[in-house]
Copies of this chain bind each other. A is one copy, B any other.
Amino acid sequence: MDSKDNNKNSGSEQAVEHGRRGFLGKGAALGLAGVALGLTACKEQGASTHAADAKPHQAGGGTEVAPGQLDEYYAFMSSGHSGEARILGLPSGRTLKRIPVFNVDCMVGWGITNESKAIIGTKPDGSLQYTTGDTHHVHGSYKDGTYDGRWLFINDKIHSRVARIRMDTMECDKITQLPNVMGFHGIFTDKRDPVDPKINYTTRVFCGAEFHIPLPNDGHDLDDPAKWGALFSCVSAETMEVVWQCRVDGNMDLVATSYDGKLAASNQYNVENAADLNGMMSAERDACVFFHVERIERLVKEGKFTTIGNSKVPVVDGRKAANADPKTAVTCYVPVGKNPHGVNASPDGKYFVCSGKLSPTATVIELAKVLQWFDGGLKEPRDAVVAEPEIGLGPLHTAFDGKGNAYTSLFLDSQCVKWNVDAAIAQFKGDKNAKVILEKMDVHYQPGHNFSSMGETKEADGKYLNSGNKFSKDRFLPVGPLHVETEQLIDISGSKMRLIADHTAYSEPHDGIIVRRDLVKTRQIYNMDDFPNAVKPENAGIERHGNKVHVRLMSQAPAYSMPVIKVKKGDEVTITLTNHDKVEDLTHGLALPTYNINFIVNPQETKSVTFKADHAGVFWMYCTHFCHALHLEMRSRFLVEA
């Protein structure tokens, strides 16, 4: 591996010459599913805008935020299998914060401090239960159909966990693992209460799961996938406990919720309930399943549920066979295009859009008609479909501009298609002159999620669209075999889409939300009294009980409260540190060499670590977070006697 001579070099100058089409040529070599799977070719409607052909003023411009100026929007983004959440400023694309959630972050001490370990969860030996995660979706809590700036919720697909982030501090405060679920992919908050109209804010978080597993997954039925199942879960936003689960047919992928609070929905691939690739693609249509939340919760109240294995969470049966009568059904399966990947609610509250992925169509489902089915007033669930335009190859996710237009990512075409919902409905009714496709624009390359400014709220403002692209290829300076991904920012405020920036994302971009900055209110300094273990002058110092030593420490630039701390080899040491600095942005760190400890304390914050002093010597505990002109001198001797 070390020989330079064997390297297949790809210099940056060379990369400059690579054109988009050259790479699309390579893309074809991927064997992307299009032809192999017999996709219907999509007739292109509307003009196609190619960034490569665009004049300089069309591609680029308008995203630079001058030094000292603030961004207009926050983007809260999931970050795939890096396990964190991320805050970007838009339009600049600057990363304002990484929020460690399912990963370990040695800068803040996430996964190192006692407090963070308690949130993540530990094994009996005190080590972390999990250090990996795969986040896909971030959604905020709502009030009156828009963000209330209180919470963000984010999923982990690897270990089926949902995490909550406080938006005042932008830190994770709770993580819950869903029982009897694997491949937890989609997540969405409810927008108001399904029963009580007075509760106009988020109280529930809904979670869709992809993979079928034995229920319980304890080693039985390993070879009988027909017996496996998948559950839809409801988590309390307030307590973060799992309130109920609902068993379904098929896999679930993304989740969306209605603005009236009544329904949650999840798109489904593999309605075949198959365990292998060919089986998963055999049916001509898959589905979007709707959950009638009020009915599910009534069943739970009435005791009409089961439980699985050791879990005490009530499980309601939402499978088709048990829900044949619309008037009592808790679920409604609306057939949609094959292998959909994405379901999104339109900001006018009327529609859900599911994209086909292996069908070149988007399916528009009218909420009122689904409710009509649940009331017995609609013959077939498929009758709730009011449009199904052909929009391009590999349609995945749909965003909205609040002006009646939809923007769907086309994975195979590497494009974003703008189409009009009303025109699609007219076309579906027979209007052959309806102009459905308004524009197609190249993105670079293979887009997954897209999302628009305030697009998942009633305040969708049609300003920006973010396209999270899965391949970047030639878009950035080469950095070796692992490419950075692209978050392309598109100005959608005019009649034509305008590609204005190639922002980068550490792998890998998934879903996110773009939030107007006035909706976010943060606290910039902690309240010391919020920490029951805060160290104050009256309790600072060393306390010993047998071989348990508690070091209560304070920081104030440029010193810790104790210059020398002495313990004995074999002691179990807890260091609790409270930052007494009150100045905004004056964070301190504490690193303990050879003891694998580092964490920070923000102004007025308290954190603690516990470890065994298992080797003797002099260890200089030092401040890792630049705090003062004498920051380098901010260090204390931690002495471990042999």
A325: which B residues are within 8 A, CB to CB? none
**Interface positions of A from 222 to 238, Cβ below 8 Å from B:** 222-223, 225, 228
Contact of A211 among B133, B253, B620 (CB under 8 A): B620
Measured CB to CB, the closest approach of chain B to A424, in angstroms, equals 23
Cα A629 to Cα B157 with chains together (Å): 19
A-B pairs with beta carbons under 8 Å apart, 5 shown: A81-B625, A97-B506, A220-B642, A275-B563, A481-B603
Bitwise interface map of A from 448 to 482 toward B, beta carbon under 8 Å scored 1, else 0: 10000000000000000000001111011111111
Q: Any chain B CB within 8 A of the CB of A533?
A: no
Measured CB to CB, the closest approach of chain B to A121, in angstroms, equals 11
Contact: B89 with A477, CB < 8 Å?
A: yes
Contact: B60 with A63, CB < 8 Å?
A: no
Contact: A583 with B30, CB < 8 Å?
A: yes
Contact: A617 with B218, CB < 8 Å?
A: yes
Q: Any chain B CB within 8 A of the CB of A12?
A: yes
Contact of A183 among B15, B81, B593 (CB under 8 A): B593
Measured CB to CB, the closest approach of chain B to A626, in angstroms, equals 4
Contact: B476 with A94, CB < 8 Å?
A: yes
Contact of A26 among B51, B87, B584, B640 (CB under 8 A): B584
**Interface positions of A from 381 to 409, Cβ below 8 Å from B:** 394
Cα A132 to Cα B596 with chains together (Å): 6
**Interface positions of A from 478 to 513, Cβ below 8 Å from B:** 478-484, 488, 499-504, 506-508
Bitwise interface map of A from 257 to 282 toward B, beta carbon under 8 Å scored 1, else 0: 00000000000011000011100110
Q: Any chain B CB within 8 A of the CB of A552?
A: no
Contact: A51 with B67, CB < 8 Å?
A: yes
Choose, from A166-174, A292-300, A535-543, the stretch at the interface: A166-174
Measured CB to CB, the closest approach of chain B to A409, in angstroms, equals 12
Contact: A508 with B478, CB < 8 Å?
A: no
Residue on B with the closest CB to A29? Answer: B583
Q: Any chain B CB within 8 A of the CB of A349?
A: no
Measured CB to CB, the closest approach of chain B to A468, in angstroms, equals 9
A276: which B residues are within 8 A, CB to CB? 563
Contact: B132 with A112, CB < 8 Å?
A: yes
Contact: A61 with B70, CB < 8 Å?
A: no
Contact: B182 with A559, CB < 8 Å?
A: no
Q: Any chain B CB within 8 A of the CB of A415?
A: no
Q: Any chain B CB within 8 A of the CB of A616?
A: yes
A219: which B residues are within 8 A, CB to CB? 569, 616-617, 640-642
A118: which B residues are within 8 A, CB to CB? none
Contact: B134 with A598, CB < 8 Å?
A: yes
Interface of A: prevailing SS: loop
- Copies of this chain, complex-wide, total 2
Given the contacts A67-B60, A617-B217, A159 and B626 also touching, CB distance less than 8 Å: no
Contact: A127 with B127, CB < 8 Å?
A: yes
Cα A214 to Cα B259 with chains together (Å): 67
**Interface positions of A from 612 to 642, Cβ below 8 Å from B:** 616-620, 622, 624-626, 628-630, 632-633, 635, 637, 639-642
Measured CB to CB, the closest approach of chain B to A356, in angstroms, equals 11
Bitwise interface map of A from 580 to 608 toward B, beta carbon under 8 Å scored 1, else 0: 00011111010111101110101101000
A71: which B residues are within 8 A, CB to CB? 476-477
Measured CB to CB, the closest approach of chain B to A605, in angstroms, equals 7
Q: Any chain B CB within 8 A of the CB of A341?
A: yes
A29: which B residues are within 8 A, CB to CB? 583
Contact: B525 with A8, CB < 8 Å?
A: yes
Contact of A479 among B12, B96, B222 (CB under 8 A): B96
Given the contacts A583-B26, A629-B411, A13 and B517 also touching, CB distance less than 8 Å: yes
Cα A223 to Cα B64 with chains together (Å): 56
Cα A618 to Cα B32 with chains together (Å): 29
When A and B form their complex, which 6 residue pairs have the shortest distance between CB atoms, in order from nearest?
A219-B616, A60-B66, A219-B642, A481-B602, A470-B626, A170-B480
Q: Any chain B CB within 8 A of the CB of A353?
A: no
A87: which B residues are within 8 A, CB to CB? 479
Given the contacts A66-B56, A83-B107, A10 and B524 also touching, CB distance less than 8 Å: yes
Residue on B with the closest CB to A443? Answer: B67
A103: which B residues are within 8 A, CB to CB? 104-106
Contact of A597 among B9, B132, B473 (CB under 8 A): B132
Q: Any chain B CB within 8 A of the CB of A4?
A: yes
Cα A503 to Cα B92 with chains together (Å): 9
Q: Any chain B CB within 8 A of the CB of A59?
A: yes
Contact of A501 among B33, B67, B102, B481 (CB under 8 A): B67
Residue on B with the closest CB to A626? Answer: B470
Contact: A524 with B218, CB < 8 Å?
A: no
Q: Any chain B CB within 8 A of the CB of A357?
A: yes
Cα A612 to Cα B521 with chains together (Å): 46
Contact: A8 with B625, CB < 8 Å?
A: no
Contact: B168 with A480, CB < 8 Å?
A: yes
Residue on B with the closest CB to A581? Answer: B30
Contact: B96 with A222, CB < 8 Å?
A: no
Bitwise interface map of A from 169 to 190 toward B, beta carbon under 8 Å scored 1, else 0: 1110100000000110000000
Q: Any chain B CB within 8 A of the CB of A7?
A: yes
Contact of A81 among B107, B280, B506, B566 (CB under 8 A): B107
17 more CB-based (< 8 A) A-B contacts, given A61-B66, A394-B629, A470-B626: A1-B530, A12-B520, A27-B583, A30-B557, A32-B629, A59-B66, A60-B67, A81-B625, A104-B104, A132-B598, A134-B591, A211-B622, A217-B618, A223-B639, A473-B584, A479-B522, A508-B625
